[in-house]
Structure 1
Amino acid sequence: MLQKLYDWVDERVDITPMWRDLADHEVPEHVNPAHHFSAFIYCFGGLTFFITVIQILSGMFLTMYYVPDIVNAYESVKYLQNEVAYGQIVRGMHHWGASVVIVMMFLHTLRVFFTGSYKKPRELNWVVGVMIFGVMLGLGFTGYLLPWDMKAYFATAVGIEIASSVPLIGGMIETFLAGGDVLGAQTLARFFAIHVFFLPAALLALMGIHFILIRRQGISGPL
């Protein structure tokens, strides 16, 4: 059945050459765990991508139940946790995945730095990777407020206060994030929009560029 479906699509879209181009791409010997024990350090990028996919899928599920206003936000999270089938598991995956993806990305960044993989001709990809890191941190910061409990509220207040101390533009950043003089409905709405729409769009665009550059330049050589 699947083969017939594949043949039907392939006859109209000709996807076999594209699939073979991806599947037949050679992997350097120094990243093969069968030949080099140290090859495991090259897995951090793939693990980061895998966890990011989990974050996107679990986030889509959470969005179906979350209500982004200060009256119902906390109750919608509570309902998701206690009433929705597997809701607690999915939210737990999203909650802990937000921390794990930062750890994996940090380890990936260390690997790239200490193996010199940021050097010519991969300088642009290093810059793109740093931008992805910044977007991930932004996702973590904006997502923290969404449950709208006391811990999230005061942690976000501290974060915005820190952002306001940036020279010259600190005031504008504070106004943009808070949406007013105090944290309230406008703040939650902005954080939700940034977390669900703006930052994911930036993340997907940067990841696309990142993968294209990796494809063009290949994996860097051994240390």
Structure 2
Amino acid sequence: MLQKIYDWIDDRVDITPIWRDIADHEVPEHVNPAHHFSAFVYCFGGLTFFVVVIQILSGMFLTMYYVPDIENAWRSVYYLQTEVAHGQIVRGMHHWGASVVIVMLLLHTLRVFFQGAYKKPRELNWMVGVLLFFTILGLGFTGYLLPWDNKAYFATEVGLNIAQDVPIIGDEIKTLLAGDEEIVGAQTLARFFAIHVFFLPAGLFALLGVHFILIRRQGISGPL
């Protein structure tokens, strides 16, 4: 059945050359654990992407029940955890995955840095990776407020005060994130939800696309 579907699509858009270009790409020997024990350090990037996929899928499920409103945000999260089948598991995956993805991304960044993989000709990919790092941090920060509990509220206040202390543009950053309100409120929650669900994921997908294209063209960097 799957073969018939593939043949039907291939007959119309000729996807076989594209698939072969991806599937037949040889993996360098230095990233094969069967040949080098240290090859596991090259898995951090793939593991980071795997956790990102989990975050995307679990986040899509959470948005089916979450209400970005100060009257109902906490109630919707509570309902998800107590009334929805497997809701507590999915929310737990998203909650802990937010921390795991930052740890994995940090390990991947350290591997690239200490092995000199940011040098020519991979400078552009390094810059894309740095932007990805800040995008993931932004997703973690904006997602922290969404449960609308006491810890999220006061942690966000601290984060906004830190943003306000940025020289020259600090006030503009805080206004962009929190709106015109003096305290964290309905406008802040609405903006954080929009940034977390729409703006940052759009940037994430674009940066990941560029990142993978550059890796495909330049290959995986070798050891020192």
TM-score bracket, shorter-length normalisation: over 0.9
Who is 2:137 aligned against?
137
Structure-to-structure mapping, 1:85-124, within 5 angstroms: 85-124=85-124
Per-residue CA deviation, residues 119-166 of structure 1 (Å, 9 max, x unaligned), is 000001000000000000000000000000001000000000011100
The one-letter code matched in structure 2 to 1:218 is: G
Report deviation, 1:11: 1.0
Who is 1:216 aligned against?
217
SS at match of 2:191: helix
Q: Measure, in 2, the Cα distance between the counterparts of 1:171 and 1:92.
A: 34
SS at match of 2:222: coil
SS at match of 1:54: helix
SS at match of 1:216: helix
The one-letter code matched in structure 2 to 1:58 is: S
SS at match of 2:183: coil
Report deviation, 1:38: 0.4
Who is 2:50 aligned against?
50
Structure-to-structure mapping, 1:1-223, within 5 angstroms: 1-179=1-179, 180-223=181-224
Per-residue CA deviation, residues 71-105 of structure 1 (Å, 9 max, x unaligned), is 00000000000111111111000000000000000
Report deviation, 1:13: 1.5
- Give TM-score scaled by structure 2 length: 0.98
Q: Identity over the aligned pairs, expressed in percent?
A: 81
The one-letter code matched in structure 2 to 1:54 is: I
The one-letter code matched in structure 1 to 2:166 is: V
Moved more, 7-16 or 149-158: 7-16
SS at match of 1:57: helix
Per-residue CA deviation, residues 102-121 of structure 1 (Å, 9 max, x unaligned), is 00000000000011000000
The one-letter code matched in structure 1 to 2:109 is: T
Report deviation, 1:15: 1.1
Q: Gapped runs of 5+ residues in structure 2? A: none
Report deviation, 1:14: 1.2
Report deviation, 1:193: 0.1
- Deviating above 6 A after TM superposition, structure 1's stretches of 4 or more consecutive aligned residues are none
Q: How many residues align?
A: 223
Q: Gapped runs of 5+ residues in structure 1? A: none
Q: Measure, in 2, the Cα distance between the counterparts of 1:130 and 1:100.
A: 18
SS at match of 2:68: coil
